[in-house]
Amino acid sequence: MSDLPPITIVATTWLPPGKDGHKRLRAVNDAVASWRRLLYREGLHLHIADDGTGPEHQSDLMRCLRLATAGSDIHLPLTWSQQQRHGVGASLNIGLAAAFERSPLVFHAVDDWRLTDWFNLEPWAALLIENPSIGMIRFFPHPDLTGSVKMFDQGWGLLLDRHHYVFATRPFLAHRRFFDAFGPFLEDANAYEVERDYNERFCASISGPATPDILLALPERWEPIESVELAGVDPRIEYKYSTQTGLSWES
């Protein structure tokens, strides 16, 4: 995995005026600080695409982002872009353009979603680089999704069928080929419309080389312990131990 490209984390923001902006800022702070739990030896960079946060909150937002990304343990290099109220779709388009100047891999983080544990992106990045039939790996599901369970060298995943909200703007890791296939996001629309429009485009397509699939990652929290394999032992037959196991008994 040492030849993997760097990953840019792209997140969109907008703080509304007044008390709602202060409340949202607290969520942004908690979310961004948690993203330092993402593990990736090849390098992570954070790009914030803001949709026109006003002067009332802009300096506080920038201060928050700098503090949240500058921890003593893991530091996230930070860049910033801003446009004036054209919606999350326009912010995503700008953020993705910035990301793809660095590498073909982008991680979409959501400014009010906290990462709760350490998470290694390397296996999933390797899968996207090695397997051109997959364009996106999601890390959080939607209701009613279906698909086929697949096992890769990197881990388990559900290859999603193209119905319901198979595409979503929840946290994902994607290759540039996905957005080359399905185009830019809808602009001057609210977040629900942006997500619905892109999902409909994806669901209307047929899986193929020009329209890569979406995989829902199924990270393991359990793993087998290397030991004596007993699954194939017939209980009706006397068990003879193998000297290779180091055991000193028989049953």
pLDDT, tens digit (0-9, with 9 covering 90-100), for 12-42: 999 999 999 999 999 999 999 999 999 999 9
pTM higher than 0.95, yes or no? no
pLDDT at res. 236: 86
User: Mean pLDDT throughout 180-185?
Assistant: 98
Percent of the chain with pLDDT over 70: 90
Per-residue pLDDT at 86 exceeds 70: yes
Higher-confidence residue of 249 and 155: namely 155
CA atoms within a 13 Å half-sphere pointing along the CA-CB vector of 217: 26
Show me where the domains of the chain are located: 7-220
pLDDT at res. 243: 55
Q: At what angle do helices 191-203 and 87-100 cross, to 10 degrees?
A: 60
DSSP state of 154: T
CB 56 within 8 A of CB 157: no
- Tell me the average pLDDT of the chain: 90
pLDDT at res. 238: 80
Task: For residue range 138-174, list pLDDT tens digits in order.
Answer: 999 999 999 999 999 888 999 999 999 999 999 999 9
Q: Which residues contact 139 (CB under 8 A, 6 or more apart)?
A: 119, 170, 171, 172, 173, 216, 217, 219
User: Mean pLDDT throughout 181-188?
Assistant: 98
pLDDT at res. 232: 78
pLDDT at res. 234: 79
CATH class of 7-220: alpha beta
Q: What is residue 81's three-state secondary structure? A: strand
CB 44 within 8 A of CB 80: no
Higher-confidence residue of 182 and 221: namely 182
pLDDT tier for residue 68 given thresholds of 50, 70 and 90: confident
pLDDT at res. 250: 46
Task: For residue range 103-141, list pLDDT tens digits in order.
Answer: 999 999 999 999 999 999 999 999 999 999 999 999 999
Per-residue pLDDT at 184 exceeds 60: yes
Measured in residues, the chain has a length of: 251
Q: What is residue 10's three-state secondary structure? A: strand
User: Mean pLDDT throughout 91-102?
Assistant: 97
pLDDT at res. 153: 86
